[in-house]
Structure 1
């Protein structure tokens, strides 16, 4: 099954913290067991590869509930349900989300102050995440993926708009940039004329030119 969004994880995170002090990795394993997550789902990473997706969402569920006074952090890395957290659980809620937290004065003050800190139309990450189902890291990774896709398309379009000679030069420069030819000077030599079906460049892998790569760049098709 899919990993629940961080708001859907708030209730189980609070319930676990009501049992005693815990930390994100421990809570993640217990929640994963309860959800019946497969190992590959437990190990799923954010697109950036810097953190497990489940851990990230539990962290933000905990963070927002701490701003609402439902969770305390008695020592570094650990968290536990506060008196207010126990009181909320006693009311047998079926779900806890940001709309629930906005009914708590402490969280509402945090939420509103986060929004007023912006000097432009852009919202700070904390408030933006509170208005969405994804965490700030997920928003950043998604935006980066879109930007990378646009950048790739723009680069390809610019290459297509240039001459074959430019394309051949780009291919040789790209190979050198990828590490072919090492770091020595004059590792690459561009040869031939555009469209002559011959060798377009030579890259010497060593300074003596004993190990060579011959490059032929074909035309860019649309």
Structure 2
């Protein structure tokens, strides 16, 4: 097993390496096998650092079951995956990418957060997160009973309800944004065929199939630029054609891709096309799609729709917020 002197690494608090100081050792160990189970990889890396037992087993005061070194290795893998240093070919599995190997050979243990966060994929990922937060912030709406309150007590109660609902809504939106972000990463790491099936499933859930229609994923050898077809009626007189591009965040869809999709639609004499990507579209691509009447769905909108129509996700909890039924306590009517 590789032996690493943890003193060579960038240090954080608690006398342990920082998360970015752990990225290079994780790459070094990760290159020893093609694929790693994430839990095993973190354990092997932690064991390779020759940490004193008190540091190897050190936990957070508030979370005595969480080893600090394991937590930081989780951040190293997560941040590294966002930068394209690690890939997740399937759930719970990691592999070092060509970019990861290139950065390790170039910087060794000097690889740090500044270098990691300057990678194009990481920057694009942060832009996505910012856009998602901005969209959530601008779309947040709270609806309450606007009838005039009858007493100061009722004003106080309604004010408390408003505050509670706002806080709960904020927490739920933050959590769901993290789920949507993870969902997008999972899709990007899946096989292209999986993504094609996913977009067909999504449009079916959205109701585009109709009552008696059908939906198919086009065989890859004969797709002609069309990845999916949704017939909205039994005779296929109303048909939606799909194009699905599974790209990383920094691989923006450009105008030629839209033009090629339009050419495929034109050969079929089709007038309904939906282009879905896990990344985003350039301004020229957006303008071209408008002129061709092609609907565009980028990665942010895709995951928002998946949450809304529950494709690839499931609702874990539901909460009831109660208020007093004033009519029940209206003794004058008894």
TM-score (norm 2): 0.33
Larger RCO of the pair (alpha carbons < 8 Å, separation 6+): 1
